[in-house]
Structure 1
Amino acid sequence: MSDSSAPRTAQASVSQGQAHAQQTQGGALLRSLTGLLANWLPEQRWFAGKGRPIGELTLISATELLPCGSSGPGPGLLHLLVRAGARPARGDASAPAGTGHAAPPTGDCYQLLLGVRPALPDALHPALVGRPAEGPLRGRAVYEALHDPRLAGLLLERLRTPGRLGGLSFGRAPGTAIPSGLPARVLTGEQTNSSVVFGEAHILKLFRRVSPGINPDLELPLALARAGCARVPAPAAWFEATLPNAPGEPLTLGVLQPFLAGSTDGWQLAQRSLAERADFTPAAHALGRATAEVHAALAEALPTDLLTGRRLEGLALGMIERLDHAVEAVSALRPYREGLRRGYTALADHAARGGRARVQRLHGDLHLGQVLTAERPGQPAGTHWTVIDFEGEPARPLADRREPGPPVRDVAGMLRSFDYAACQHRVRGHAGAAEWSRANRAAFCAGYAAAGGENPLAERELLLAYETDKAIYEVLYEARHRPSWLPVPMMAIRRLAEADA
């Protein structure tokens, strides 16, 4: 596929002399930045290794998008891919015993965009990473480049022009208009990635933790655009990296999409409904229709399959295994273990009786925060929905996120989101929250069926199993990251443990 129509997979060739020179310079660069990055990385929202000291930083690639060695006042822009490994246990060796070979690299690969200036303007001081005491950037201010509108604008210009720069490749959808000179602003509050809005026209999503393979947040919207699905913004441009000496799949680094200015996400609209005790069921019904339309388009654009017998039973066994691990990690789950297992056993029995499940590509992490709506003249909010963020659950390996699954898995995620919104209000003592959740869960399923999707309530064993699996994932997440929120998914755990499949 060409730069102008789809992600590239070509790899730039580098002579042995060039490779040796880059390796030498890269080693000096990384040595000068290691201490600064080891302190800075764990403080970032998107860094997955919080609470674990960084034991090793490995430079994978370094590309100057704007020269960093100039003595002038202007900024340089440096693109890095680094692998951050956890500190090894005491007595651990760098090579397996008796092999004589180095152990394979461990840790996560992160994308960094660093600005370099001799002097840092006051407005950029909060973005400072530090000043290297040695190496090619000695004495210069190194900072998070996305907060510098000039450097963010340079990244937009690269995306406007397909081509290659070092190990980076830039692609653009045919016929897409991307204006130049748009003001840039970084969005705050994201957990796993970074986003920059350009004017009111486009938003660039930068994946921070990356791995080989096309990211579903590029792959699926491209497929949906080809299928003519208007429920999902079509990618305008993207960029990737090909790892040195690694001829496999490239890493998706970022996707530029239309920015839906003036939109409200489903979570905000649901919270407003709960606070005002307003009827949300028409919006939930419309959201069910939108979800079914996206699923139908994905099934048309990409391969599907049918799970029967042992393959379907394997889904249930995998969920039981995840439950057992979760119970060991969170003691609050122990009283509900057997009740939760009953739902999984019901799915396994369903498979043994000849049950089947159609599987296809999915959103993978569907909830109220992943859908947007905007008021239209003469129509109430929530009448028309747009679905975004097809990355899947970022904590899962990329290969897992690209695996097909039953559409009911996305449905279960949205049902849990309705319950999550309501449970927050129940924790605060708000009356009527449980009824709100039940009504909107039913409206969503009815809307899904009305749009031609199979009624999720007709797949009770699958729905219960996937909703339980999602609730257990939530318990693990809250116990690790937001202990004060743990009562919210635990309310669902108690209900699901008593559920009749």
Structure 2
Amino acid sequence: MRIDTAEVTRVLPEWLGRQRWYAGKSRSGSVAARLLATLAPPTENAQPTLTGDREDQQAAGVQIWIADVTYPDGVEHYQVPLALRTQRVEHLDRAFVGSVTDLDSGQSVELYDALYDKEVTGVWLRAMAEESVLDGVTFVRDAAASEIPVSESSLVLSGEQSNTSLVFGDAAIMKVFRRLEPGLNPDIEIHAAFAEIGGRHVAKLLGHVTTERDDELWSLAMLQEFLTTATDGWQLATASVRDLMAEGDLHADEAGGDFAAEANRLGMSTAEVHADLRTAFGTTVLDSAQLRERAAAMNTRLDAALHEVPQLADVAEGLRKAYDDFAEISEPVTAQRVHGDLHLGQVLRTSHRWVILDFEGEPAKAITERQANDSPIRDVAGMLRSFDYAARHQLIDMGATPQSEFRAAEWAQRNRDAFCNGWAEAGGNEPAASAVLLRAFEADKAVYEAVYEARNRPNWLPIPLASLHRLAETA
């Protein structure tokens, strides 16, 4: 079975436009498909099965294709693993990509997103366990072969926006990077470094997948332990807010679902992760010129945001003052590797500890930018923004009143303080002593949020706007 590159190029654009992780929905670009690797060769007369037998799992061909999307200002690359079938498979309709023609037989070949095809996803885990190299794709095992759950079936997690994650039984989770660029993905890099130093607040790295093209390394996927009994921080925090709102006139510290103790422990865990990052990667210093450069970038982002969110005009002067104060810091600022996109949805509470996930950073940024050292205060600011969202997002649906606004603000401040106190207690610099940094980083993040909400959830726009008014006034 052979399929033509032009045929795959024909069916990909429409399918890409429906994927949450595809960042080109609002841009006009041309799509070209190219075959990266064949992981399991297509076989003639491959039929869908549900037996779970190893040979049946490889009955469909499994290939990794790359969609190169060209814009006037550059090219983006997306990973598209495909399962090749000779017949339509009803239970895979949601993963259907398109029909192409077999160049040898002239028969139709049905293409599916292979990550949703449970009968073929075992290819990735078996290759990791065996440390295989398949058609130029290298499968690296970072743990004992017995820890790779090769016999488990997979399930794609819903809700992921930038990549696609599959859970194998209750043992492992594989994240497949969708948007690709050269370089070792920071998520793999940092988890591998933590494995060497014994980092306690991360999930264990079990394996990863890379390829090399044109003398450059590209990261394709990573496999980690799956923490089955853990609950993510966003769920815990928002449940606390719901409890508070249902408790009549109680203050945040009086409600049964008070989250402050957990916020404090989360702050401590974050500080310990920052310490591990310093141990693994060292530190540098941001001098005055670099601080001015970063402040200029913040102002540039504000300028662009003003075109999309006119309401920012009311706070622009105060925000620019915050950025000016940032630029005028005279003392060198210690910089290190950081998480880069820390929020309540990136942390899990197990029965023993908080675990921090997804050290990939902001996927829209280049890998080199995500690998650059920064102040750990940026991560603190990201988490503080998340507490504001947890406190206020329910007011959008339930309708805000002066009382509910007050109680949401009280909950947010209590948990922001608890997180900062925990971070300081565990060795982080007291954020109050870095108030200029914290205010600028938080304002920069909230400006980004305002643009995002204006584009995607206009009814949520009051959440970042309320914070920006506060930040502008304190500047």
TM-score, with structure 2 as normaliser:
0.90
The corresponding residue for 1:100 is: none
Contact kept in structure 1, 2:337 and 2:373, CA below 8 Å = yes
Tell whether the 8 Å contact from 1:110 to 1:210 is kept in structure 2 after alignment: yes
Partner of 2:129: 160
Question: Is the alpha carbon distance of 1:134 and 1:332 closer, same or farther for their aligned partners in structure 2, counting shifts above 3 Å?
Answer: farther
1:36 to 11, 23, 33: 11
2:310 equivalent in structure 1: 331
Superposed counterparts of 1:369-448, under 5 Å: 369-375=345-351, 384-427=353-396, 428-429=399-400, 430-431=404-405, 432-448=407-423
Read off the aligned partner of 1:247 and give its amino acid letter: D
Instruction: Give the match for residue 141 of structure 2.
Output: 172
Check whether the contact 1:162–1:169 (CA below 8 A) recurs between aligned residues.
yes
Q: 1:201 aligns with which of 171, 194, 219?
A: 171
SS of corresponding position for 2:121: helix
- Secondary structure of 1:459's counterpart equals helix
Are residues 1:471 and 2:450 paired?
no
CA contact (8 A) 2:43 2:60 kept: no
Q: Distance in 1 between matches of 2:128 and 2:390?
A: 38
1:115 aligns with 2:94: no
Q: Where does residue 130 of structure 1 map in the other structure? A: 98
Letter in 2 for 1:108: E
CA change 1:135–1:499 in 2 (3 A) is farther
Q: SS at the partner of 1:232?
A: coil
Using the aligned pairs only, state the percent identity.
40
Q: 1:32·1:138 contact (CA, 8 Å) conserved in 2?
A: no
Separation (CA, whole Å) in 2 of partners of 1:433 and 1:174: 44
> Residue 367 of structure 1 corresponds to which residue in structure 2?
343
Could you tell me how far apart the structure 2 residues matched to 1:75 and 1:252 are? Answer: 24
Indicate yes or no: 2:237 matched with 1:257.
no
User: How many pairs were matched up?
Assistant: 444
Which amino acid counterpart does residue 125 of structure 1 have in structure 2? Answer: D
Cα displacement string for residues 34-56 of structure 1 (whole angstroms, at most 9, x for unaligned residues): 22111111101110101334423
Change (3 A) 1:476 1:436: same
**C-alpha contact 2:347 2:357 (8 A) present in aligned 1:** yes
Partner in structure 2 of residue 20 of structure 1: none
2:258 maps to a residue whose letter is: D
Letter in 2 for 1:252: S
- Which residue, 262, 272, 284 being the options, matches 1:283? 262
Going from structure 1 to structure 2, the CA distance change for 1:349 and 1:62 (only over 3 Å counts) comes to closer
Aligned positions of 1:65-104 closer than 5 A = 65-73=39-47, 74-86=59-71
SS of residue paired to 2:223: strand
Deviation at 1:200, TM superposition (A): 0.2
What secondary structure does 1:150 align onto?
A: coil
Supply the distance in 2 between the matched residues of 1:477 and 1:46 (Cα, whole angstroms).
15
- Comparing 120-129 with 205-214, greater Cα deviation is found at 120-129
Q: Which residue of 2 aligns with 1:150?
A: 119
The separation in 1 between residues aligned to 2:13 and 2:78, in whole angstroms, is 13
Q: Secondary structure of the equivalent of 1:296?
A: helix
- The farther-off stretch of 264-273 and 137-146 is 137-146
Instruction: Give secondary structure in 2 for the equivalent of 1:242.
Output: strand
**What is the match of residue 19 of structure 1?**
none
Superposed CA offset, 1:1-33 (max 9, x none): xxxxxxxxxxxxxxxxxxxxxxxx99x622011
Mapped partners of 2:172, 2:22: distance in 1 = 25
Distance 1:445 1:323 in 2: 27
* Contact preservation (8 Å) 1:128, 1:142: yes
Please say if residues 370 and 388 of structure 1, whose CA atoms lie closer than 8 Å, have aligned partners that are also in contact.
yes
Q: Per-residue CA shift, 1:74-104, capped at 9, x if unaligned?
A: 3111111221224x6xxxxxxxxxxxxxxxx
AA partner of residue 261 (structure 1): T
Contact 2:17–2:25 (CA<8 Å) still a contact in 1? yes
Moved over 6 A (4+): none
More deviation in 180-189 or 427-436? 427-436
> Distance in 1 between the 2:170 and 2:435 partners?
43
CA contact (8 A) 2:33 2:65 kept: no
Per the TM alignment, residue 135 of structure 1 is displaced from its structure 2 partner at its CA by 4.1
SS at match of 2:91: helix
Shift of the alpha carbon at 1:138?
A: 5.0
Give yes or no for the alignment of 1:321 onto 2:290.
Answer: no
Runs (5+) with no aligned partner, structure 1:
1-24, 89-104, 377-383
CA RMSD of aligned residues (A): 1.9
Task: Classify the secondary structure of the residue corresponding to 2:441.
Answer: helix
Gaps of 5+ in 2: 48-58, 245-256
Q: Where does residue 45 of structure 1 map in the other structure?
A: 20
Separation (CA, whole Å) in 2 of partners of 1:265 and 1:361: 23
Query: Separation in 2 of the partners of 1:314 and 1:118?
Result: 56
| 1:263-296 superposed Cα distances (whole Å, 9 cap, x missing partner) | 1111000010000012111000000000000000
CA positional deviation for 1:494: 1.4
How far the C-alpha of 1:130 sits from its partner, in A, is 1.4
Report deviation, 1:370: 0.3
Identify the match of residue 266 of structure 1 among 225, 230, 233.
Answer: 233
Alpha-carbon contact 2:37-2:65 (below 8 Å) kept: yes
Distance 1:135 1:413 in 2: 52
- What is the identity, as a one-letter code, of the residue corresponding to 1:365? D
Give distance in 2, aligned partners of 1:416 and 1:226.
32
- For the residues of structure 1 that align with 2:110 and 2:457, how far apart are their CA atoms? 34
State the distance in 1 between where 2:102 and 2:123 align.
27
Give the corresponding residue for 2:326.
347
Other-structure match for 1:301: 280
Aligned: 1:498 with 2:473: yes
Residue 37 of structure 2 corresponds to which residue in structure 1?
63
C-alpha distance in structure 1 between counterparts of 2:176 and 2:366, whole Å = 17
Maintained 8 Å contact 1:425/1:433: no
Aligned-pair distance for 1:58? 4.3
Is 1:232 matched with 2:199?
A: no
CA offsets, 1:311-367, max 9 Å, x none?
2222222212221222123222122111110101111222xxx32210000000000
How far apart are 1:106 and its partner, in Å? 3.3
1-structure distance, mates of 2:309, 2:466: 15
State the shift of 1:166 in Å. Answer: 1.6
Tell me, yes or no, if the aligned pair for 1:361 and 1:402 is still in contact at 8 Å: yes
The DSSP-based 3-state class of the residue aligned with 2:120 is helix
